[in-house]
Each structure stands twice: as structure tokens, then as C-alpha cells.
Amino acid sequence: MAKYLELTSDNFDAEVSSGVVVVDFWAPWCGPCKMLSPVIEKLANDYDGKAKICKVNTDEEDELSAKFGIRSIPTIFFMKDGEIKDQITGAQPEQNIRQKIDALL
């Protein structure tokens, strides 16, 4: 079973530098983030080997959150080869997220 990857300031740049990467900025106290969590886990399974599904805990990684101007969570970045191609904020239906990933593959 594939698992999403936890990103930190230490590994962020290396992990997003190539391929398709989905980055979920979240926090443990955030209700919509908790709703989105099973979707993120499912996507990590479904896209194993095709796209990296990652999470950034904004409580622990305030430097990364500030670097990317995260003001609302959950915020999801869709990246390709280190470049942000799209983003969405707030809990989203799984299908919306899948469409954005598929568009980058």
C-alpha cells in the first residue's frame, strides 16, 4: 500500500523537483483537512509510481507555509518538475483533484 510522503523544509525541494507532485498543506486541527485526509491516502495508492502525493503539516513547517503564502488550509498545489501548475483551496471532491493530476500526467 502506497503512502503519501511527508514534506519538510529539508526534503521539499528534492522531492518536488521532478515529475508530477501533489502537495497538500494541512494541519491536525483543521476540520476540512481531516475530511480530505482519506482522499489524499487513496490518491497516494492510486497514483503510486505515476505521481507523488505529499503532505505538509503547516503547524510544524511554518517556514514552508510562509514561503508559499499559505493563508487557508487545506491548500493543494499541483506541481510538475518543480513548478506550481495549479492550486486549489478548501476541501474538494476526489474527482476534482484527480482531474488536475491527470491533466499533468
Q: Which residues are catalytic?
A: 30, 33
Site of grid cell 499541483? 78
Q: CA of 15: how far to CAs of 18, 55, 71, 92, in Å? A: 7, 11, 23, 24
Q: How far is residue 41 CA from its own chain's centroid?
A: 11
